[in-house]
């Protein structure tokens, strides 16, 4: 029996949460100090946002955003959030900032040209979508609070 990508990701998230519950803050510190772990959060996050439309997908996406918030509390992770992928030149923080503002930017760009039924918004006003927006902005806030992370300040300002 082959397990779908969504189910594999869900199982991986359950394993991470179990580790955090058993080991506690030490597990989060370990993840935060590992470049490969932090950088690897981006692809599954993008995938579940782009392809997930069911309530379970939205809950999984939000769990990943909560995990990112736990990780970014550790200052040693900040540089990894801003590390650019050599393949596409984007970082995890680029992705976070994109989805934190995507609908607002779209609305500004379209102005009065938005017609009913033609909207291309990513998020709705469901509790899960609003929670995600709050989680993404919290992640941005944590990175901006780091007085030693000039990259965070520069990218947030841009």
Q: Per residue in 48-91, pLDDT tens? A: 888 888 898 899 899 999 999 999 998 889 999 999 999 999 99
pTM score of the predicted model? 0.83
22 CB-contact burial (10 Å; exposed 0-12 / middle 13-18 / buried 19+)? exposed
Q: Per residue in 121-133, pLDDT tens? A: 778 888 999 999 9
When divided into structural domains, the chain yields a total of: 1
Residue range(s) defining the domain that contains residue 72: 5-157
Q: To which residue do tokens 């955090």 refer? A: 20
Q: Give CB contacts under 8 A, 24+ apart, made by 35-44.
A: 35/80, 35/83, 37/71, 38/71, 38/77, 38/80, 38/81, 38/83, 38/92, 39/80, 39/83, 39/85, 39/92, 41/67, 41/68, 41/71, 41/92, 42/85, 42/90, 42/91, 42/92, 42/95, 44/9, 44/12
Out of 38-42, 109-113, 119-123, 144-148, least confident range: 109-113
Who's near 138: CB < 8 A, 6+ residues apart? Answer: 69
Task: Select from 59, 20, 67 the least CA-distant residue to 42.
Answer: 67
């Amino acid at each position: 029996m082959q397990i779908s990508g969504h189910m594999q990701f869900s199982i991986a998230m359950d394993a991470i949460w179990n580790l955090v519950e058993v080991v506690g803050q030490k597990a989060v510190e370990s993840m935060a100090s590992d470049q490969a772990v932090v950088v690897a959060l981006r692809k599954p996050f993008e995938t579940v946002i782009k392809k997930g439309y069911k309530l379970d997908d939205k809950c999984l996406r939000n769990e990943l955003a909560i995990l990112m918030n736990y990780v970014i509390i550790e200052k040693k992770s900040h540089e990894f959030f801003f590390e650019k992928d050599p393949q596409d030149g984007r970082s995890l923080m680029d992705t976070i900032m994109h989805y934190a503002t995507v609908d607002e930017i779209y609305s500004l760009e379209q102005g009065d040209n938005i017609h009913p039924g033609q909207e291309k918004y990513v998020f709705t006003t469901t509790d899960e979508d609003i929670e995600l927006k709050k989680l993404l902005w919290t992640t941005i806030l944590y990175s901006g609070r780091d007085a030693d992370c000039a990259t965070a300040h520069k990218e947030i300002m841009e």
